[in-house]
Chain A
Amino acid sequence: MRKLTGLLFAGGLGFMLLAIASGLDFGSPPMRIGEAIQSASPQEVGAANIVTSVVLGYRGIDTLGELAILFAAASAAGLVLGRRHTTTGTQRKGGFVLFHGGALIFPFLLTIGFYIIFHGHLTPGGGFQGGVILAAAFFLPLLARPGARLHHSILSVIEAFAGASFILIGLAALGEGQAFLQPMLNQDTLGALISAGTLPLLYIAVGLKVGAELASLLSNLAQTESEQ
């Protein structure tokens, strides 16, 4: 009975989606807001990457919400996983290639991660993408040596202050008598590394927070696994 209901629901939903899709005209999206932002954002925000000016400028509080969602998910996972008591794994090591390959690639991953974060306002990429690469860099040694640990206390301090600095930058604008999360500082030349005011700072905060959060989450998972 339950399977039948599920099948009916899925089938109905699929049919509805097909019916909708057949009625949509693709290729001519209405650009009421989009066009205005595209033409105004280089002057208003000063970021060469218009996606960034939308993510951190026009819809900055959405990004703050996404950061908070990630934080909530990591905390909830910590509540579930943190209970199991963890022992140092007795698994065998990852082998010569993985071990030395991991050590070799570590500085490159760090460089790429930070590059992507620092250039988020100029080229595609930014805090979220760069942060994930940073987390991967720190997780790699754990794969090579299952017994190794990350310093959770340091990670949580980085995470807390990166998240807090995003909000504090927003509050600083509020203290200046402007709106919350309003871009501040000089815009400088469009396309220069130091430009677009506070946007790169916001992306650094995002990158560090995402990186620290994912790294500690992954190592949490790895430790729980190594126990079994």
Chain B
Amino acid sequence: MNNLVLTIALPLLGAFLLPVVMRLSQALGLWLGPIILGYGCWLLGNLWFSDISLPLSVAIGGFDAPYGINLYLDSLALLFAFAVQLLGLICWPYGLNQDTARRQALMLLLVAASTGLALSGDLFNLYVFYELAAVATFGLVVASSTSAAYAATFRYLILSGIGSVLTLLGIALIYSQTGTLNLAHLAQLAPELLNNRLGLTAYLLILIGIGVKAELFPVNAWVPEIYATASSRLSGFLAGLLSKLALLIILRLLVLIFDQPEAVQIVLILGILGVISGEFAAWRAKDMRRMLGFSSIGQLGIIFIALSLPDERGLLALLALSLHHLVIKTGLFMLADGWGGSLERLTGAAKRSPVGAALFTLFALSLVGVPPLPGFWAKFTLITELAAQSEPLYLIGLLVFLLATVIETSYLFRIVVKLYSSAETTSEQPEHQQLPGLSLATASLFGIALLTATVLIAPIGDGLQAVAAEAKNTELYIQTVIPATPGGQL
């Protein structure tokens, strides 16, 4: 089971060697990254179907859990780790130019860091991978080398730096109270040591810090500019996956360590504010990519609302919404590859690329939640769960969520109408409205995945239910990482 670490170590190894390999033989260099990611997919895919009993904990360096660093693998972590490697392969920067070696090395670093975020069971180790993901992202966004990209990256750099400092401060506070950084060990100690004001402060600091990547309400100013300037493949990876990984960290903290009503309430309030601000800004946006960025903020807000729900069904809604958003948003960003820029230019684009327009309509329908598409099921789970709560704040969440759906419908179908309207006036820049073949193929892949999920919705729902139950089980987590010794205490 020690092989699990290869999914982090091999991309790092590839990234270190890539600049030299690329100079020796370009063909070999170009194949190196995809081969490593393909191997990672194979390794994790095998784990899914093998009969190894999950969850399990892998000690790195041979030091047992609370002393050394461990990787924790349950179905949830496996699902996300697999998604990281697969999406890394799909969003790989295939294009060739003078910076290919550097860009591909940074992408490998981003994948390694994201896998680490999904698997690591140590608070400080998570922080290291979080930093690595941030720095690799700066480089990848700057690689598009327009002055807008420089400005956007600079803003992102500042905000992300503030987030990192706050997170580190929170971790330091936790360490000063407990003297440990291992999540399982913290989960054991939390009810006694962190169930107070200081613990709540530490949680808030980490929430805001990690929230920068999760597009949480007050710290998401970087989102529209970065998504408008970065390459569509990168935006797809960031919006689709990295935001969910940050969310996964917050989920683990909430389940394992900060099981307090106030901690959940903060998430709910920030989520509601995120939905309102994101959806209204998306409605007003005049540019395809900015619209997708703002809409992503709104969607993440909805997912944060789901995160604040107390029981397993809430976690199920969270998982369903996250995976759904992952598929849809990445697919939409692929379409934005050719359709980026002003929305006005899209008039009549359906004639030139009917497949692209059909895919856009499909994604829009599922995002809004039209049955029988998976989006309906995900949203329905959330609605029933919200309606079952007695606290008034959840009711506000429900109302905001319904309002958001209306706004979403409005701005998405405004574009659909535009796509299918007959073009009389605009034919100045037809070449810009053409979708690149590779992006269209990738988007079709996501469309097919969506349709498959529609057919298989019942088994997928059962599977997710099991994943949610496992992730919610704090006792299981502790037992897996630190098996109880006869002596009893550490």
CB within 8 Å of B: which residues of A? Answer: 16-17, 20, 23-24, 29-34, 36-37, 40, 44, 57-62, 64-66, 68-69, 71-73, 75-76, 78-80, 82-83, 153, 156-157, 159-161, 163-164, 167-168, 170-171, 173-174, 178-183
Collect the chain A residues with CB atoms within 8 Å of residue B103's CB.
79
Q: Does B363 contact A (CB under 8 A)?
A: no
Residues of B within 8 A of A75 (CB): 102, 105-106, 139
> Contact check: which of A20, A33, A72, A178 meets B179 at CB < 8 Å?
A33
Question: When A65-B128, A164-B17 are in contact, do A72 and B61 touch as well, CB less than 8 Å?
Answer: no
Q: Which residues of B contact A (CB under 8 A)?
A: 2-3, 5-6, 8-9, 12-13, 15-17, 19-20, 23, 58-63, 66-69, 99, 102-103, 105-106, 109, 112-113, 116, 124-125, 128-129, 131-132, 135-136, 138-139, 142-143, 145, 150, 169, 173, 176-182, 185, 197-198, 201, 490
**Contact assessment for A69 and B142 in the assembled complex, using a CB-CB cutoff below 8 Å:** no
Q: Are B60 and A61 in contact (CB under 8 A)?
A: yes
Tell whether, in the assembled complex, residue B15 and residue A180 are in contact, meaning their CB atoms are under 8 Å apart: no
Whether B128 contacts A182 by the Cβ 8 Å rule is no
Taking CB atoms, residues of chain A closer than 8 Å to B67 are: 33, 36-37, 40, 58
Chain A nearest CB, measured from B312 CB (Å)? 32
Contact A57 B69 (CB under 8 A): no
A167 to B6, CA, bound (A): 10
Decide if B128 touches A16 in the complex (CB within 8 Å). no
Q: How far is the CA of A23 from the CA of B58 in the complex (A)?
A: 37
How distant is the Cα of A76 from the Cα of B143 in the complex, in angstroms?
8
Interface of A is mostly: helix
A68-B109, A71-B109, A174-B5 are contacts. A179–B61 as well, Cβ < 8 Å? yes
Q: Collect the chain B residues with CB atoms within 8 Å of residue A17's CB.
A: 169
Q: Is the beta-carbon distance between A180 and B2 smaller than 8 angstroms?
A: yes
Q: Specify the chain A residue showing the minimal Cβ separation from B144.
A: A79
From B6, B136, B490, residue with most partner A Cβ within 10 Å:
B136
Q: Please give, as numbers and ranges, the residues of chain A lying within 8 Å of B3 by CB-CB distance.
A: 174
B142, A79: Cβ atoms closer than 8 Å: yes
A–B complex contacts, Cβ < 8 Å, 24 sampled: A32-B179, A44-B63, A57-B63, A57-B68, A58-B61, A58-B63, A61-B8, A61-B69, A61-B125, A62-B128, A65-B113, A68-B12, A68-B15, A72-B106, A72-B135, A73-B135, A76-B106, A153-B23, A160-B17, A167-B9, A167-B12, A171-B9, A171-B13, A174-B5
Measured between beta carbons, the chain B residues less than 8 angstroms from A174 are: 2-3, 5-6
A170 touches which of B9, B109, B197 (Cβ 8 Å)? B9
The residues of B that contact A65 with a CB separation of less than 8 Å are 113, 116, 125, 128-129, 131-132
Q: Which of B20, B68, B112 contacts A59 (CB 8 A)?
A: B68
Given A16-B201, A60-B60: A68 and B106 within 8 A (CB)?
no
A62 to B12, CA, bound (A): 13
For A179, what are the chain B residues with a Cβ–Cβ distance below 8 Å? 2, 5, 58-62
- Of B61, B99, B129, B180, which one neighbours A33 at CB under 8 angstroms? B180
Q: How far is the CB of A81 from chain B (nearest CB, A)?
A: 11
Cβ contacts under 8 Å, B180 to chain A: 32-33
CB distance from A87 to the nearest CB of B (A): 18
Bound-state CA distance A83–B149 (Å) is: 14
Give which listed residue, A30, A69, A157, A170, contacts B132 with CB less than 8 A: A69
Asked whether A20 and B62 contact (CB < 8 A) given A30-B179, A71-B15, the answer is no
Residues of A within 8 A of B19 (CB): 156, 160
Beyond the given pairs A60-B61, A69-B135, A72-B106, 15 more chain A to chain B contacts, judged by CB atoms under 8 angstroms and listed by A's residue number, are A20-B173, A20-B201, A32-B178, A33-B67, A34-B179, A57-B61, A65-B116, A65-B132, A71-B15, A79-B143, A156-B20, A160-B16, A174-B6, A180-B61, A181-B61
> Complex Cα distance A76/B135, Å?
8
Question: In the complex, how many angstroms separate the beta carbon of A94 from the nearest chain B beta carbon?
Answer: 31
Residues from chain A with a CB closer than 8 A to the CB of B142 are 76, 79-80
Say whether A24 contacts B176, CB under 8 Å: yes
Rounded to whole Å, the gap between the CB of B239 and the closest CB of chain A is: 20
Q: Is B125 in contact with A71, judged by CB distance below 8 angstroms? A: no
Whole-angstrom distance between the alpha carbons of A167 and B185 in the complex? Answer: 28
Name the CB-closest residue of B to A153: B23
- Structural contact, A23 and B198, CB atoms closer than 8 A: yes
Distance in angstroms between the alpha carbons of A223 and B16 in the assembled complex: 24
Closest B residue by C-beta to A60: B61
Contact B139 A79 (CB under 8 A): yes
Cβ of B5: which chain A residues have Cβ within 8 Å of it?
61, 174, 179-180
Q: In the complex, which residue of chain B has the Cβ closest to the Cβ of A13? A: B166
